[in-house]
Amino acid sequence: MGYVYDDQNIFAKILRGEIPNTTVLETEHCLAFHDIYAQAPEHVLVIPKGPYVCFDHFSNMASAEEIVDFTRAIGQVALALKVDPGNGGDGYRLLANTGKNGVQDVPHLHVHLVAGRPLGRMLRNN
């Protein structure tokens, strides 16, 4: 099957500057910005600039440099938000919704970093 990247997705438009965003951090290979429908006091999306549909696409196809940059960018966002436990922060949750069962709405890899309140157990039966 492979991956087909739709360059008309909303995050591709953000990366091209066609849609505004509230940037938290930009690196050579990544952009982090506030989620427009925040579900917690802090809700930031971290995306690679490359055309990757989802996490497994990225982890299989991205360069080592991109993968390191993405991983470090997520950590830097936690630092910028002062939620990293290593510096006394109250912690956060990372989520990467993927595909149909993961209920991924935007087909460009993004990690949600949510924080700022107790987030409850991860998955409840529903």
Binding site for ligand AMP (CB under 6 A): 10, 19, 21, 35-37, 45, 97, 103-106
Name the minimum Å distance from CB 35 to ligand AMP. 5
10 Å CB burial of residue 53 (0-12, 13-18, 19+) is: buried
Check residue 49 and report its DSSP letter: S
User: What is the C-alpha separation between 8 and 34, in angstroms, rounded?
Assistant: 20
Q: What residues are annotated to the active site? A: 110
Name the minimum Å distance from CB 15 to ligand AMP. 11
Check residue 85 and report its DSSP letter: G
Nearest to 62 by CA among 14, 11, 3, 1: 3
Name the minimum Å distance from CB 37 to ligand AMP. 4
User: What is the C-alpha separation between 78 and 93, in angstroms, rounded?
Assistant: 10
What's CA 96's distance to the chain center, in Å? 7
